[in-house]
Amino acid sequence: MAKIRYDELLPHEFRKRLAERPIAYLPLGTLERHGEHMPLGSDAILSEGLMLECARQLGGIVMPPIHLAPSQTPMTHADSIASPQPLDGSCYWVSLGFHLLIVDAILAQLKRAGFRAVFADGHGPSRRAWAANIPEREVRFDLKLFGVTPEIAGQWKSQMDHAGRNETSLMLHLRPDLVDLSQLPPRGTKRPEGISGQDPRDATADYGKECLQKSVELVQRMFAGAGLL
């Protein structure tokens, strides 16, 4: 199977794959609690999993995930001293401005490397920040940029809850070794904590595969509409 991760490519492999399809995929995520049954890094794991499948089917190169998410109130060193209690797994939150600068720097380097288009998605705040800045960044970096914008949000099927049926199903499909449903309370008892969306106890790998493929097809339609396929 052809290598599709940027960090694994030899230079001649990178040049060949870039020439075939100059599209970069940028997974966005953070580290935070996803119930008791999902890994702390679920956001980037799931976004990277989607993009790996996109690259397999559509071509392009998958960049290493960014485990940083924008927040209006990221915890500072002073905060950690004043409130030393743990955040129950939450970590790697930065200011929105800093997050935008990081992504800007990456886009500048992707343009320099020869990419013509970038698809980014992942953790909710990162998704929203990316989508909101697509028009301005396309002009500034002379790149075609794609994300889960309002035009496709109603059809999008990847990472549409927080550790609920959707994300749990995606993880069961992509990385079943990282899911432990036995950590959830039995049915008929209390609702699982740390989740939003439909009940994760209804999750299945088949549903995750279906959601993933529908999202890949939406990406394909976006690329085709822009003349990239």
What's the pLDDT tens digit per position in 88-127? 556 667 888 999 999 999 999 999 999 999 999 998 899 9
Check if CATH label 3.40.50.10310 holds for domain 6-225: yes
- Token couple for 217: 């097809």
In the chain, where are the structural domains located? 6-225
pTM for the structure as a whole: 0.91
Tell me 157's DSSP state: -
Residue partners of 166: CB distance under 8 A and separation at least 6: 157, 158, 159, 160, 197, 198, 203, 211
The identity of residue 211, as a single letter, is: C
pLDDT tens across 175-225, in order? 999 999 999 998 878 888 888 999 999 999 999 999 999 999 999 999 999
CA–CA gap between residue 26 and residue 184 (Å, rounded)? 31
